């Protein structure tokens, strides 16, 4: 038998943690009548029993062979007697319980059992009760729990039950999932009971401390169990493929790298369209906080080819501890996000942290370690093929080889071969992650302490490049004895350090394979014109240090029944500093370069205050709920970029020894926003629900000018499974139709960094009058959706299909008064964007009881997004980036018509093979997926657990066989082997034009057009085993012998294999550059609780 409240083992190194006192409260209420209030999705049975202890001071005793502590359940109890809660959990598993001295003992239901446990429920004054339970149509109901405070039973296939030797005077309770429970204080020895169908459990969202039950909204979630199955550092990697309508793809596989995220499409041309991310109600810095550094690429990089910077824009989400997260909720539609005003216009992601609770005393350690490797390598030319390509290119250009321009075949050893692809990314990354959690309580105080350390290296050929992260978090909760006053407070600090090359050296995979030795005399070799020695990038390093401090306090007061008052305050302060060093030793001595460093600093601070009151009242068959509140928000961001020059390499990391300074940028912004919001919900007969939400927002975010706007949303739901005609079906178990319509705005405007996209007002004022000259306001967004949710076979199979249609207009664009002025201002331009789509979610519980349990779920999304209107786009620079009728994420391309068999040159629509004539880009290739989704499976057999997540998508991506190198085949870059199918003489019908050595030749110039042609974009399908977790939970007998509470051993894998028609490194990374890929990661770990 097992006691759920964990005790600390007497282990020497943990002795100082032992014997934390637990003060039991005296209880005068009978055990079975003590009530619990608890709503949670996908929690362990163990966690549920711990909550029971916290609220009732009754401990659970049971055998793991009869009841799995780690079985996942969802509960929704509000002031429910413990007897009713236990009957719901145990009777369907053919278990019963008995109360003994502050505990309840769980054991199997056995007829005529004379075991010690069974005998305790027999009293001198007993009776036997038999009966039948039916539904509203008087059809027998099997699987109904019928119980008292000492004994319980489950109805058989004919709806019949029998309770023998039950105490006289016991209250008889009847319960079945999906039906209203019944309590009978007076009944005969033979009875007939009729149950009435009930609305399914409602979903829960958290609005700055206010819990709102939602039946009219679209909400998806990821549980703690799913979070634990991946060895990840960024929370976005965890929810990839698990939420319909949420498209996430990596921007780089480098440690600490970021992600692109689209929640139901992109609503804005220039404004931020990432969803609002809240951590326990406090906004996280925007995902694009560090992307201002991206604007300086042309300044920071001396190479006009714009080799991608390795970690120029790290994600703030890396500054979270995955082990502190209890669940993640994704709010999609207007009804779910309405309370967040303009900040939630693009959707909301709620990250809910683990919290302490009454009675908990535990210490948990989780450690895993593993390796990561690149999964795919491209087929490139070997030395012989490369040399032949170069020589043929020289012949095609009609010139003789020269040691000045052709030193790779005249001065280098052409028989030498270096596979630069494997040299750069063919190594093994090592990953180690360790976390610690301590929980405790004393009287009305409950606390939790946690810490994390993570170390991760790269597959680069140098151990100096690595990522380190550490964190600490402290939480304290308080609740008075009556539960009317509650306080929750937390503080946390996370810091990381990322050392990488200043550029992503993956792009040097196309270095010629015949390069000479890398080092000569202990220094980098620049002899024989080896000026582009790739290893210079291992001396030119980027060191980035980031940290974030967060604090939060929430107070809740319930002065009367149905009335709740909330107040919350939170802040976070993030710092990010990058130092990119370019020492003199990394330059060719012939170039006489000066050592220099780039210092990039970013400081971001947010402060939030939220106060609200909520009132609920039941009027006969109608329940009314009203919420009213206000929210204040402050945001301050400071950024600075400086380039310093040095006389030597000794002082590159400090600015004191600089001999020259160039200021790159120094913006400073202060934003403030306020909102008054209200929400009303009316629910009648548990089947008709209507919600109304309104907010008045005020902000100065747009051009530091104050503006205000009023937004509103209406939502409705019909639980048609509550209708009488629905009860005629034994196949359908649940049905709900819901929809919402709302109006909001987006004020997350970003001024363009370049002048290639801007509105010239002088050219448009005549056509638009003075509308463009008015004070700017938030972009307008209208959201609408309708969805139907169904359950079948007692909810063993559930499904949801949703259609959404969002429209945004009055786009905030950057404008100048004339081409002669470069100072931009925001204007509301009458461009219109439409995002619509269909989302499908299906879940099945193949086996949900017994030793074997199998659950599966699949989600698939079909997005459709387009720029519906953009007046006068052909007169503006935006015509080079967007196309009416196409998505905003689009590649405008030239139309390539193949290779001219006579001349051996690429030919294009609207220009043929003449580079001076080719101008028009007639094709718009979408970079938005046609569909995407995930397929998840969870299999549990006794102590073993297997979790699998597959991701799939159909989308366009850049063709790796075409354009891997920035210059044409024949130049001094290695190429894919597909270039061997090239034009050599008149009449050749081949896909690759003639080789050339120079970008200035006709063939070289045409290749630049080819890089922007439709042939560069290819349709890609992929199915990826995103994650796998195989775990084993030690048996209760072994745990007792080892004197520990729980122990789980596990193996984890990420990106284990991919089935795809894509020929590049990674079909997920949509990019026209050769960047660091997603790695295949395999780890092994142990989770131990004392």
| DSSP assignments along 1038-1066, one per residue | HHHHHT-SEEEEEEEEES--EEES--SS-
Angle, CA 300 vertex, CA 298 and CA 301 arms, to 5°? 70
Element (H, E) at 539: none
Torsion of CA 864, 867, 869, 870, to 10 degrees: 180
Do the beta carbons of residue 859 and residue 934 sit within 8 Å? yes
Rg, C-alpha atoms of the chain: 33
Structure tokens given for 559:
């002065």
Collapsed DSSP state (helix, strand, coil) of residue 726 = helix
**Helices in 146-241 by DSSP H: which ranges?**
224-227, 235-239
Contact residues for 285 (Cβ-Cβ < 8 A; gap 6+)? 316, 548, 572, 574, 604, 606
> How far is Cα 185 from Cα 1056, in angstroms, rounded to an integer?
59
> How far is Cα 496 from Cα 507, in angstroms, rounded to an integer?
26
Nearest Cα to 697, choosing from 687, 689, 707? 707
Element (H, E) at 446: strand 445-457
Torsion of CA 769, 773, 778, 780, to 10 degrees: 10
Structure tokens given for 901:
């068999």
The string of pLDDT tens digits covering residues 36-58 is 888 877 788 888 888 888 788 78
Do the beta carbons of residue 472 and residue 448 sit within 8 Å? no
Do the beta carbons of residue 291 and residue 270 sit within 8 Å? no
Collapsed DSSP state (helix, strand, coil) of residue 424 = helix
Domain 28-194 CATH superfamily: Carboxypeptidase-like, regulatory domain (2.60.40.1120)
Q: Domain locations in the chain?
A: 28-194, 204-351
Beta bridge partners of 219: 331
Contact residues for 882 (Cβ-Cβ < 8 A; gap 6+)? 269, 867, 870, 873, 888, 890, 892
> How far is Cα 88 from Cα 176, in angstroms, rounded to an integer?
7
The string of pLDDT tens digits covering residues 858-913 is 999 999 999 999 998 888 888 888 999 999 999 999 999 999 999 999 999 988 89
Nearest Cα to 816, choosing from 872, 873, 876? 876
Contact residues for 967 (Cβ-Cβ < 8 A; gap 6+)? 973, 999, 1004, 1007
Do the beta carbons of residue 788 and residue 735 sit within 8 Å? yes
Q: Dihedral sign, CA of 897, 902, 905, 908?
A: negative
What pLDDT sits at residue 305?
A: 36
What pLDDT sits at residue 766?
A: 54
Q: pLDDT band for position 27 (50/70/90)?
A: very low
Which residue is it, tokens 């057009």? 1009
- The distance between the two most distant Cα atoms of the chain, rounded to a whole number of Å, is 113
What pLDDT sits at residue 832?
A: 96
Q: Tell how strand 348-353 and strand 832-847 pair up.
A: unpaired
What pLDDT sits at residue 607?
A: 93
Report helix angle 82-90 to 45-56, nearest 10: 170
* φ, ψ (nearest 5 deg) of residue 55: -100, -20
Contact residues for 916 (Cβ-Cβ < 8 A; gap 6+)? none
- How long a stretch of residues is the chain? 1090
Nearest Cα to 312, choosing from 544, 537, 512, 43? 544
Beta bridge partners of 925: 891
The string of pLDDT tens digits covering residues 819-873 is 555 567 788 899 999 999 999 999 998 887 778 889 999 999 999 999 999 998 8
Query: Greater confidence, 562 or 116?
Result: 562
Q: Tell how strand 563-582 and strand 595-619 pair up.
A: antiparallel
CB atoms inside a 10 Å sphere around CB 183: 12
Nearest Cα to 803, choosing from 818, 816, 788? 788
CB atoms inside a 10 Å sphere around CB 521: 6
Q: Tell how strand 688-699 and strand 707-718 pair up.
A: antiparallel
Q: What is the 3-state secondary structure (H, E, C) of 13-48?
A: HHHHHCCCCCCCCCCCCCHHHCEEEEEEEEEEHHHH
The whole-angstrom distance between residue 221's C-alpha and the CA centroid of its chain comes to 10
Do the beta carbons of residue 347 and residue 390 sit within 8 Å? no
Which range among 24-28, 142-146, 191-195, 827-831 has the greatest average pLDDT? 827-831
Query: Greater confidence, 293 or 157?
Result: 157
> How far is Cα 497 from Cα 404, in angstroms, rounded to an integer?
43
> How far is Cα 288 from Cα 272, in angstroms, rounded to an integer?
8
Domain 204-351 CATH superfamily: TonB-dependent receptor, plug domain (2.170.130.10)
> How far is Cα 247 from Cα 241, in angstroms, rounded to an integer?
8
What pLDDT sits at residue 757?
A: 65
The string of pLDDT tens digits covering residues 678-724 is 999 999 887 899 999 999 999 888 877 788 899 999 999 998 888 87
Report the mean per-residue pLDDT for the chain. Answer: 83
Do the beta carbons of residue 466 and residue 460 sit within 8 Å? no
Q: Answer yes or no: is pLDDT of 151 > 60.
A: yes
Label residue 964 exposed, middle or buried (CB < 10 Å: 0-12, 13-18, 19+). Answer: buried
Do the beta carbons of residue 747 and residue 778 sit within 8 Å? yes
> How far is Cα 505 from Cα 310, in angstroms, rounded to an integer?
8
Beta bridge partners of 134: 140, 194
Label residue 272 exposed, middle or buried (CB < 10 Å: 0-12, 13-18, 19+). Answer: middle
The string of pLDDT tens digits covering residues 977-1032 is 999 999 999 999 999 999 999 989 999 999 999 999 999 999 999 999 999 999 99
* Low-confidence winner among 330-334, 387-391, 651-655, 727-731 (lowest mean pLDDT): 727-731
């Amino acid at each position: 038998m097992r006691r759920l409240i964990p005790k600390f083992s007497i282990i020497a190194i943990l002795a100082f943690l032992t014997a934390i006192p637990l003060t039991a409260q005296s209880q005068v209420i009978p055990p079975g009548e003590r009530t619990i209030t608890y709503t949670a999705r996908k929690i362990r049975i163990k966690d549920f029993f711990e909550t029971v202890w916290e609220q009732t001071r009754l401990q659970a005793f049971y055998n793991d062979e009869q009841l799995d502590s780690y079985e996942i359940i969802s509960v929704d109890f509000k002031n429910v007697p413990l007897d009713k809660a236990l009957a719901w959990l145990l009777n369907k598993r053919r278990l019963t319980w008995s109360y003994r001295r502050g505990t309840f003992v769980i054991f199997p239901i056995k007829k005529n059992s004379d075991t010690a446990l069974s005998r305790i429920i027999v009293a001198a004054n007993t009776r036997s009760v038999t009966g039948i339970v039916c539904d509203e149509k008087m059809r027998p109901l099997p699987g109904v729990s019928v119980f008292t405070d000492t004994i319980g039973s489950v109805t058989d296939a004919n709806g019949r039950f029998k309770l023998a030797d039950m105490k006289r005077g016991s209250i008889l309770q009847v319960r079945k999932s999906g039906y209203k429970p019944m309590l009978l204080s007076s009944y005969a020895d033979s009875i007939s009971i009729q149950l009435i169908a009930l609305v399914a459990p409602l979903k829960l969202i958290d609005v700055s401390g206010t819990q709102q039950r939602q039946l009219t909204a679209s909400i998806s979630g990821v549980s703690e169990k799913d979070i634990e199955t991946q060895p990840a550092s960024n929370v976005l990697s965890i929810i990839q493929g698990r939420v319909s309508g949420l498209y996430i793809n990596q921007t780089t596989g480098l440690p600490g790298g970021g992600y692109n995220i689209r929640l139901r499409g992109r609503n804005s041309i220039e404004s931020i369209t990432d969803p609002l991310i809240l951590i326990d109600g406090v906004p996280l810095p925007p995902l694009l906080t560090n992307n201002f550094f991206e604007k300086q690429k042309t300044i920071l990089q001396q190479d006009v080819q714009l080799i991608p910077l390795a970690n120029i824009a790290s994600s703030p989400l890396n500054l979270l501890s995955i082990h502190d997260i209890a669940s993640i909720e994704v709010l999609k539609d207007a009804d779910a996000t309405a309370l967040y005003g303009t900040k939630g216009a693009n959707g909301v992601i709620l990250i809910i942290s683990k919290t302490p609770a009454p009675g908990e005393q535990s210490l948990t350690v989780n450690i895993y370690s593993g390796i990561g490797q690149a999964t795919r390598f491209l087929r490139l030319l070997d030395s012989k093929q490369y040399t032949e390509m170069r020589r043929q290119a020289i012949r095609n250009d009609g010139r003789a080889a020269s040691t000045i321009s052709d030193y790779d075949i005249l001065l280098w050893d052409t028989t030498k071969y270096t596979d630069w692809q494997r040299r750069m990314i063919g190594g093994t990354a090592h990953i180690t992650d360790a976390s610690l959690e301590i929980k405790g309580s004393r009287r009305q105080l409950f606390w939790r302490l946690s810490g994390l350390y993570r170390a991760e290296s790269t597959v680069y050929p140098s151990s100096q490049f690595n990522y380190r992260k550490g964190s600490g978090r402290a939480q304290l909760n308080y609740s008075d004895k009556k539960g009317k006053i509650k306080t929750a407070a937390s503080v946390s600090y996370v810091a990381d350090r990322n050392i990488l090359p200043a550029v992503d050296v993956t792009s040097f995979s196309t270095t010629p394979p015949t390069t000479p030795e890398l080092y000569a005399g202990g220094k980098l070799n620049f002899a024989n014109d080896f000026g582009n020695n790739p290893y210079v990038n291992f001396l030119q390093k980027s060191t980035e240090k980031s940290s974030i401090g967060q604090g939060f306090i929430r107070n809740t007061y319930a002065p009367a029944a149905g009335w709740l008052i909330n107040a919350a305050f939170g802040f976070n302060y993030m710092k990010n500093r990058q130092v990119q060093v370019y020492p003199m030793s990394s330059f060719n001595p012939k170039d006489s370069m000066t050592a220099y460093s780039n210092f990039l600093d970013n400081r971001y601070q947010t402060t939030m205050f939220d106060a609200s009151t909520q009132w609920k009242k039941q009027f006969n068959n109608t329940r009314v709920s009203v919420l009213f509140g206000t929210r204040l928000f402050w945001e301050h961001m400071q950024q600075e970029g400086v380039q310093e020059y040095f006389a030597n390499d000794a002082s590159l990391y400090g600015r004191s020894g600089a001999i020259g300074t160039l200021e790159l940028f120094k913006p400073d912004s202060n934003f403030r926003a306020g909102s008054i919001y209200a929400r009303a919900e009316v629910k009648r007969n548990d089947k008709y629900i209507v919600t109304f939400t309104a907010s008045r927002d005020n902000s100065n975010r747009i051009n530091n000018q104050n503006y205000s706007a009023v937004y509103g949303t209406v939502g409705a739901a019909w639980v048609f499974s509550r209708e009488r005609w629905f009860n005629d079906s034994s196949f359908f178990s649940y049905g709900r139709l819901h929809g919402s319509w709302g109006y909001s705005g987006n004020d997350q405007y970003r001024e363009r960094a370049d002048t290639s996209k801007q509105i010239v007002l002088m050219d448009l004022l005549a056509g638009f009058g003075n509308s463009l000259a008015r004070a700017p306001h938030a972009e307008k967004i209208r959201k609408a959706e309708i969805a139907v949710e169904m359950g079948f076979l007692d909810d063993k199979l559930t499904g949801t299909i949703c259609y959404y249609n969002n429209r945004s207009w009055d786009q905030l664009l950057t404008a100048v008064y004339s081409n002669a002025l470069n100072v931009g201002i925001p204007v509301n331009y009458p461009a219109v964007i439409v995002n619509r789509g269909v989302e499908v979610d299906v879940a099945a519980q193949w086996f949900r009881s017994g030793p074997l349990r199998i659950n599966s779920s699949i989600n698939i999304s079909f997005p459709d997004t387009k720029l519906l209107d953009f007046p006068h786009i052909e007169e503006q620079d935006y015509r080079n980036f967007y196309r009416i009728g196409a998505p905003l994420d689009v590649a405008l391309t030239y139309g390539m018509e193949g290779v001219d068999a006579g001349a051996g040159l690429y030919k294009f629509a609207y220009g043929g093979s003449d580079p001076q004539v080719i101008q028009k880009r007639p094709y718009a290739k979408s970079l938005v997926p046609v569909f995407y989704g995930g397929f998840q499976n969870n299999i549990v057999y006794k102590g073993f657990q297997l979790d699998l997540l597959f991701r799939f998508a159909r989308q366009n991506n850049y063709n790796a066989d075409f354009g891997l190198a920035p210059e044409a085949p024949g130049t001094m870059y290695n190429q894919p082997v597909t270039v061997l199918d090239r034009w050599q003489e008149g009449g050749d019908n081949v896909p690759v034009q003639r080789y050339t050595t120079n970008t200035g030749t006709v063939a070289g110039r045409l290749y630049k057009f080819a890089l922007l042609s439709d042939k560069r974009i290819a349709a890609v399908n992929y199915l990826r085993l995103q994650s796998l977790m195989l775990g084993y939970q030690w048996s209760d007998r072994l745990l007792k012998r080892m004197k520990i509470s729980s122990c789980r051993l596990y193996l984890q894998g990420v990106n284990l294999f991919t089935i795809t028609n894509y020929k590049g490194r990674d079909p997920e990374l949509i990019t026209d550059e050769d960047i660091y890929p997603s790695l295949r990661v395999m780890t092994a770990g142990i989770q131990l609780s004392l």
